[in-house]
Each structure stands twice: as C-alpha cells, then as structure tokens.
Structure 1
Amino acid sequence: MKGEAKSFLKFLDGSDKRFIIPVYQRNYNWQIKHCKQLLDDLLTLIEQPLKPHFFGSVVSSNMENGNREDYLIIDGQQRLTTVSILLVAMVNLLEKKLVQVNDSKLKDKIKNRHLVDEYNTEFRKIRLKPINEDRQAFDALFEDEVDFIATSNVTANYYFFKNEIINKSIDLEHLYDAISRLEIIDIFLEKSDDPQLIFESLNSTGLALEEGDKIRNYILMSLPPVVQEQYYVKYWHRIEKKTEFDNYYYVSDFIKSYLTLKLGKTIVIRDIYFYFKDFAKGYQKEALLIDLLHYASLYEKLLKPTGRTNDLEPNIIRLNQLDLTVIHPFLLAILDHISKGKLTEKEAKDIFSIIESYIFRRLIVGLASNSLNKFFATLDKDISKRQNNNQSYAEICKFILLSKEQSLRFPTDEEFIEMLMTRNIYALSSGNKQYLFSRLENSNSREQINVIERLQNSEYSIEHIMPQNLNNEWKESLGQNFTEIHNKWLHTLPNLTLTAYNSKYSNHSFDVKLTIENGFKESNLRLNKFVSECYSWTEKELLARQHILEEEAKKLWPFPCSVYVSPKQEVSSYSLEDDFDFTGINLSSYEFLGEEKPFSNWKNLLGDVITSLIVLYPAKMQQLALEDGGYIAKTKLSNSYSLLGDYFIYANCNTSAKIQGLKSFFKQCDIPFEELTFNILTKSN
C-alpha cells in the first residue's frame, strides 16, 4: 500500500484513467447540505489565494482484468462523484455560454483532463463509472436536459451547483483554481493488499474520529507548528482534561452543549463538526479557544461538582442523578452568569431546584423527555430577552416554565402527587429509584447518607413493607379485602422503604419485621421513622404514610409561582417531534433550519415547508410525488390536493393530518423532527 499527498485534480488528471465504483459500495447519497458545505469551502479558498484545503483520502486499486489505468475506488467515492458533478456543471454552463470566462480553453481543459476520454473508441467515453442508477443519472448530465433523471441525487446536486454558480455569479476560473487546491492522500493498494480488509478498517466505527477530534484538528491544523504546540498545551489539552470523567473524554458532548447554548438550537451529534465550522468563522482561533476553555471549566463543574460548586454542589449532583443531558446547555448558561456576576449562587440554587422539580415531576407523570431538547436549547435566550429593567432572571425562568402547555407543561401538585402515590414505583429504572429514595431519605439535611452508592453496591435494598407474597398472617391482618389491598398498594411508594436487612425481613409478618434484630424498630433511616412507630401494617397505616410522603414530596419538588408579568402575549415553541395537539392553536411563525418565517395559516405553512423540502431534497421529493397516494403528487388525486408549483399537496385536511404529512416528509428525507419548530401564541399566566 502506497500513500501520497497530491492535488485532487492531479488524481483525476489523465484522459486514459477510469474510476470505477465497485458494486459493494453504497449508492451516491450526498445531499444538498453536503454540496453546500463543499461549495462554501471552495468559495473560502477563492478568497484565500494559494491556500490548500485537505479533502480527505481516496483509496484505490487496479481493476482486476481491467486496463492499466482502470482504478477501483475503495474509499472516497462520494467526494469523487460530487466534484465530478460540479465539473460537469461548469462545463455545461460554459458550453451553453451561460457564464463568461477569459480563458477560452477552460471548458475543454476540464472536460478532457478530468471527465471524458475523447479518443476512447468505446461507446462510453465518460471516465467515472458509478453504480447502477447513479451511472445512468451521471451519464445523462452529458446529454440534453430532457434526458436528466429527476429522482436522482446526482441530478439534484448538479442543479444545485449550476444554480448557485449563476445566482452568486461565481467566477469559474477562480472556482477551478480553488478545486485545484483541494488536496487528498492518494492511497493505492498493491496486488498483495486485501481491498476488503482495507475497506472495513477505514469504515469501522472503532477508527472513526470523534467530533471533538475533528474540531481540534480544524482549529489547530492551519496554524504554524510552533503556535499549534502553544495552543494545544495552553488551551486544548486543558479543555480535554476538564471534560474528562471516569477516564473518558467528553469533549464531543461538551462541544454539543456549547454549540447548543451559543446557537440556541438543538444539534445532532453527527452534525457538530459542520455547525462548529460555521460558528467558528466569527472568531479568531485564540479567542475561540479561550471561550471554549471558559465553558469547559464550567462543564467540569457539571461533570465533577464535588468541591467545585460550593452551595450548588448538592443540586448539580442530584440533577446528574436524573441523567438528562439536554439540560446541560442551560446549566452552562447559569454557571456562566454566575462567573460574570449576573447571578448570585443563591439565585442559581433557586433555579436549579425548580429545574430539578420540573424534570422529576415530568418523569413521574410520564411526560416524554424528547420534547425538552429545543426548550432547554433556547431557555437562556428566552429569559435574557425578557430582562428589561433588571427583572429577576429566576422569576422569568419560573414564568416560562409555568407558561408551557401539553407535553412541555409543569405538572401541578394534584397531577404529580396522584401519580407519585399510585404508580408502580418499583418498576422505575434503577437510576430513578435510587434518586427518589436518596432524596426522600436525605431531604435537605446536611447529614447526607450516600443512599445511591449503598443501593448500587447492594448494601441497601428497596423493601416492600407489605411483602410481594402474602402468608396467612398477612392475609389475616389485612382483612377480607386483602387481595384488593395487596394489588392496590404493593408497588406504590407508601409501601416501599429502604433497608440493609432485606433477606432477614423476607415474607415475615409486620410484627416480626418490626421487632426482629435490626428490624424497623432499630432502623436509623429517616424513611423508617413512621414505620417504626406503627403496631400493624394495614390500609390505615398505608394511607397515613401516604399523607406524610405527599407533604414531603411537595416540599422537595415544589410547584413554583412567579411574580413576573409579561408585557405582551407570550409565544411558546414546540417542535415537530413534540407530542403536542396543535388543533385550534394560534400559530405565530415557524422555524426551519435556523430561519424563522411568520405564518398564521397552517395550510400556507405546509406549502412553504414542502417548497423548502423540494429545494433541499429535489430527488427524494420527486420520487415521493411519483409514488401512489401520499401527501404529495405530480397529478391531482382528489379535491383535497392543492396546486403547489409543479406538485399537488394534500392540504385540505385538518391540522393533525397536516402535522402527520410533515412528519412523513421529514422521515422520508431523513431530517430530524426537531429541525422544524412552531411558535404559537399562548395564554397568559
């Protein structure tokens, strides 16, 4: 195996070369967003003459039984195909004189050096040979547009490049120069190399770079070696150490939270690198590293709060026990405000307590956590923009929490207590049970017992006071309705407690559990105080303990009130992902891919979003429109379909059906539901 750094165009150069994509490779699947990223990189290169741009590696080998210059592409086919599509678009624009250049030979240079072999005696002169339908679509680009295959990504990306060149008046000579500065590692396999093993190792998840690694390389790579070393030691290494926990670096997770806070939007982990590159354009490298190190220091307090957060330590520890990382961007914002003197630790403690109550109440009531992604991504910005005349950050935070409805609501005392006392607590996840019993046992006392650790190492266990299997003594003590009482109360919180002596208690009668050595009478646990004072365990005692636990729960997980009064009608945001009934809701606007548009009509919104999808995913939408039925068609299927450009959409339906239609499109185009957000007018508190 031989590797050599070279220009990407140098790799393509040579009229007798053929590039064959093997059939085991995936189909060409670059979308408009990937092409946009490539074109943006090339436009940046145009502004930076002579600067190269690393474009990855291309792995190839000689085609068995092929000509000497037939190259089998083992890895890099997506980039190779995309640049070839861009070059075809440039050639066609020059052929049709849709753009002007000074170099009259540019068209022939591109076509004959990189795309076709004009001297080849075979019918097919095109040098790139994609697989199956991709080949048909790519070959059609060299013919008349009426033969183009509209349902192919190849065609869609061709039109993207062509239109962008025209609309942005991109100079093709400068663009060609920028393409010539794309550099690759050309890896050529010898006959003794096993292409399959190479392919597997290059594409194995084990060798894939973490997003944090890519970002480190992006920041440091373009700097002089001496500066690289300085910045790595002074900043990046410290960022890594501050985001290290249990011998694992959480750099990627940290940057995800950092970007979510800075951009005010949810980010999928696989897209972090691309978002970071766009975000970083507004920063000098050292200023960016300084900011990252600042927030990494705050993130360290979230990962390892002990000894680092003073009065906030117990709050952060408990929030970590609830294991909901979507709140990290907001918590980072709070810690940042403290560091800059905008919030006191006392105010922050109040906010952390309310967030803990909000999360736990929702967990007990059974509200899905996926609706919280967008909410916590924008919460700090939503609070800050209301802070005119020095209104309290904490009061505004509570106000916003209380203004949420349906899937984002703050469960009331009645709803929370009802579910806490009646649901099967024993069936909660281990982590949530450990959090619950630790909180109940320790309350707000300074004398904390490490309940969670003791549960994890089996020193403690969760005990059913009335056992899971009733013996005759228990049946007699419960009375003739023992079956009904047992079924109603067995796994509920009033019947559960902590003990270090579970095996001793077994199915013994309550009297034995009470008086046995190390029984409830001798327990030092606060949770067992009431139990130790009882002489029997019947529905009467269960109801009494329930009342005690209800009062304690309302104290530990309080329902907030806010003195803040909004000067205008509030707007709440819900994503397509949220379990929210939009029927009868007053729409204000919607946001898609970072752009907000005012819309009050759901039908018009549907048409506008689908128009965007047609632009972004033309091949996929064309394919969906040609299928039978569905929400989009090329011909009018019924009176419920309305004309939209060259398409018909199923729009004369209720709001719920429109939402389902959007979900269908997003699923087909592989777009995360959270990318689409609806801003609705809400009722005042």
Structure 2
Amino acid sequence: MVAAREVTLQELLGGSYQYTVPLYQRTYSWGRPQWQRLWEDVVDVADHRRDNPSATHFLGSLVLAGFRDNGPGGVQRWLVVDGQQRLTTLTLLLAAVRDHRAEHEGPMHADRVNEKYLVNKWEDGHLRYKVLPTQADRGAYRGRIEHAPDAAEGSRISEAHQFFRTKLVELSHPPADGEEAPLTVAEVESAVVAGLSIVSVTTGENDNAHRIFESLNNTGLKLTQGDLLRNYLFMQLPTRADEVYTTLWLPLQNLLSNEELETLFWLDLVQQDPKVRQTEIYAGQQRRMRDLQDESQVRDEVERFLALGRLYDVMLRPEKEKDDAVRFRLARLRAWRTTTTFPITLHLMERRSLGDIDSDELARALLYLESYLVRRLVFGRYSDGLNTTLLAATADIQGQDDPADALQRFLSSGRKHFASDDQIRQAVMTAPFYTTGRAAHRKLILRWIEESYGSKEPVDLDSATIEHVMPQTLTEEWERALADQLAAHQDLREVHTELLHTLGNLTLTGYNSELSNGPFAVKRAELAKSGIRMNQEIAAELVWGPGQIRARAERLADRIVGIWPGPSAEAASGVAHTAWQTLTDAVAAIPDGSWTSYGELARLIGSHPVPVGTYHARTALPHAHRVLQAGGTVSPSFRWTDPERTDDPHDVLAAEGVRFSEDGHADGGQRLLAEQLAELIDVDVDLTDPRSLAAPGNDPALRDR
C-alpha cells in the first residue's frame, strides 16, 4: 500500500529513523546551482516566517520504501527510492548550522542539532546516522557529521557543507543604512526544520519499490538504462548487497564511466541478439536474468559483468594489454574510432580469457577486422551495412574452433564488400580516395601505409594533413607541365579530374598550406626534406603527371594488399569475374528507349561509380551508349570502342526512343534502376540503397563514443 502525507524535516528526522540511499542509486551529484537554489528557498521562507511564523515552502517529494525487518522497536529504516539528493543536502545544511552555532553561540548547539536531526544517539555503526548515503559517499558524509575533515576532503559532500558554512557567515554582515536586520542562523535553522514542506510517499513492505523506481523514471527522473539495471540487480540482493557492491560492483564502477558501463551491458546482450538496441538494455537484461534463482546466482552475474568490464577496459585503453601483437591491433581499431567493431572484438577477447584461443589467434582475427575496414574504404564501400555485417559476424563465429579463419570466411561470403586484391588494385588506380569515407580514416590509412616502411626514425604524423601532389586547382605552370606529358588525344581537364583524388596523387605532409598550388619543383624540394618515406619517393621523381601517379598507385596497391589480407582464396577467385559479368549482361540487356546510370550499375554489382566508369570506358560493351551520368547526360569522356564510329551518342539514343529535355537531359522515367536491371538478367542480388544504411557509429543501436 502506498501512502502520501505532507511533512516537515522535523517530523522526518525527529525520531529514531534512518533513511538509507540504496547502493543502486547514483552518488551525490548536486552542485553549486542546486545548492544556491535551495539556499534561496530557505532564506525566502525564513524571511516570510518573520511576519507569518506558520509560513512554509513546498520543496518536493520524498519516496520511501519500508524495510521488511522493521519492527515495533529500534530504528525504523527506510529505503530512499527518490529524493536522496535533496535529503542529503538538507542534512548537510543542518550540519553547517550545527557547526556555525557551536562555534559562535556555544557547544550545546552541536549536541542538540546532532541528536535531533543528524544521528541516532544510542546506536552504533551504520544505524547511528539518520541519513545513510550510498556506499561511495558514506566516508565523506561521515566525515562531515563526525567532524573528520580528511575523510571528506575534495568531495561534493564536503563542498556542499562548506558552501552553506560560507552562506551562514555572510548572514552576520551588518546591514547597510535603511536595510532590514539580517536573518539569524537560528531563524535559518527554524526555516529548514519547520518551514520546508515535503510530501513523503511511503510504500509498505509488500510493495515493489523497484516498480515504483521504474515508474518514477518514466515521469522525469531520466535515469539511464545502466541506472535501471543496477537498481534491478541490487534489489535482488537483500542480504548480500554490501558485499557484492564492495567486492564486485565498485571495482567495475571505478573501471568504466557510466556511459561505458551502459555500452558494456549492451555488448553483453548483443552476443545473443544482434538486433537489440541500446534503448532496450534494461528490458533485455531483465528478461535474461528473470530465471535467476537466488542471491548467489545474481552475485555470479555481477562477477561476470566485472570480468567483461575488464576486457572492455582493455579494448578502450589498449595500452593495458600485455601481448604486443594484440595491443598493436587493439590500438589500430581504437584509432579508427568506430563502435561498430566493439561487439565482435569483445567476443574475441572473451574467447581468449576463457582459454578458447590464444593471443596469436586473437591478433590474427583482429587483423582481419582491421583489413575489412580498410579494404572497404579503399574500394569505396565505406558504410554500406557495416553495422549489420559485423553484428552478424559476431553471431556467426561463436563456437567455431578458429574464429580468425571463420571471420575471414564470413566476411568473404555474399555481398559484404570485402574487396579482393584485384578490386583493391583497380580502386587505388581509379577511385577518388580523397572523397571517400571520413577524413580521419583516410589519413589513418595513409599513416599506416607510411608506418609500413619501418623507418628507423619515427616521424610525428599527428599534425600532418593530406596533400594533393598534383593540385586541385591547376596554375598555368602546372597546365604546361601536364600538357607536355599527355598524348594528342588526351584532354588535360579529363585527366586532371580522373587522377586528382586517387591515392597515387595523395600523401601526408606538414606543409599543406605552403605547398598548396606551387609548382612540382617547389613541392619536390620541400618533400625531399621530409622524414616521411612516401614523400621521399615522390621527391625522387623529376616530373609529376599521369605516368608517375599511376606508377605510384601500383606501388601503393602492392603495399596495401601486403599489409591487409583480403577475402579467402575461394571467394576472391570468383568475385571480380562474377561482378563484371553481371554488369556486362545488364548493359547488354538495356532495351531501346531506356537508359541507366553508372551509379545504378555500381549498385547492381556492389561497387563504386568510378571503377564502373573505368571498366565501361575500357571494355567493348554492347549498348554502352545507354549508360549515362546520374542526371541523364552523356559523359564528356564517352568514346565509342570502335574508333571508326563518330556519330553522336545523344542522337543515337534519341533515335532509339529516349526522350531528352531542351537542355539535354534524358527522361528520368526511362531510366532503369538497379532493381530493374537485376530483373532483366534474372539475378538475385542485395540491392539495399547505401544511402539508407547507417554509417559506422550512426546506427541508433550503437552510437559512436
């Protein structure tokens, strides 16, 4: 049964009572804004009580749950379900009043305030205190009540007590001419204990305080999923809460932040259900633990959380890992700064802790994970379904003897975009790396490539930026230099656009703003001074143009496939042929009066428009002229594969029935989407629109930290 009544602090604290803040509650967190607001309320009601001694001020509610062992005698104990911040602060204010009056008016006030409002005089141990904060705050609180300042030094509780001591001292300042006499500390004390009105909501011993706690959360407390789970766990530990808190929960809480703890509980759940979201942590964990029979089993769960928390702590702070190879791989994944790798990494870490795999096997599995991230970005499939794929991989490798091989096989199967060596080589030559994915990831890949040179003198790359060797804006000097390197049929602007953002034209440097659009001779001199090996290779070139960019791209591609292993051999052998054959069949199947775009073909085969465009330009495809740019215009670089053919593809398409607007754009209603192309050639492929997929860290189930 739930009962509510309006009370004063004098009624709450004036008998043999103890109000215990449960271990699952948050620690004391009020600060100066809340203390100031409370002080202003106290001063306001104290001032009103000069004219109306019965005046009160409503302060809020206090929700209490009765202890089952409360008997007719002794201290009546209550659990503080809601209101602990306010109640703790009020007793600290009373302790400040006690200390001020004892110092300025006589020691009898110390005993009086203590015995009436702060301690149960005839009790020892925990029962001595009328308010008993959560365990993390008890030492500091006891220090203020028992005048042991060292025990409270630097804590929020100590700061709150000192805040009110200062306010009480300020009351004694003499008033200016014409001002009313200041409040006395006695008036403040009276206002606190008799002038503040609180609604006390109490539950009987058979009421479910946990359910009340949940309902309060739904009406504005805004506790986290982790707070609710902590509450649930400790509600299941009526006799062992102190022991479990001290030996297991507190070490876990000291290891991880509140946000990290909440993510840990989600990572634990997602091992069994890849679809569970972070908003479902509490409900999911509660369902999972519903069948626990006794306190020992609940304790075992908390112990398991602590073990997982230690692994997660190493994931977040790889410098704590003892094995060199594992530490190196964990640091790489941490530098990538995406949470999408967390579930599978924690699973692999747990497998090692249980003795299922050793550190070498763990490091190899983490290398495949890193390689998957890098190869996807280089190939231009940065975000497509990454969250879903890695969550599914976590479930797939569970129970398999060699999780590294199992992970490679899983990532190699289906349309998961684990780029083959051939696809990597093609992408490095043609794809606009500079505009793919996140800038931080692009820089990381260049940084890791540089580190692969193994320079004896390490170079600080933290402040380096990505530099285009052939600049984004061509000066007249650059145009002349490039023109000298082109064949007669090549268009300078087309070559510049084609190669500008490719990996072969990019490097890392600390001189980005100074180099800018300067001629290669100037850049070369600066790059030669650099300690970065990539730059020294570039500086060894006498000129910089298409030939040098493509040659460097080939070298970088060799290095990438050497650093980061690709899909399993059986998967890699057929994937490229299958994809390009699918594209060839699709283009051949486009009927008269229809067209498609490079982007739709890329969607069809799970590639990027740039390599598709390159393949289209270099391969004799039937109906190649029916592939247009996204806006329905013929690509400026389109060439018939038959050198004898000179007719305008625009005119050919119009004769075939494609309608064009006055400004030369093909009718969008005649465009074939990837889904329609797949139907034309009767293939079953995954055609999820990449734009509908969350980028790493943006999945609502797992936010980036």
How high is the TM-score relative to the length of structure 2? 0.48
Computing the radius of gyration from Cα coordinates, the structure with the larger value is 2
State TM-score, norm by structure 1: 0.49
Determine which structure has the larger strand proportion and give its number. Answer: 1
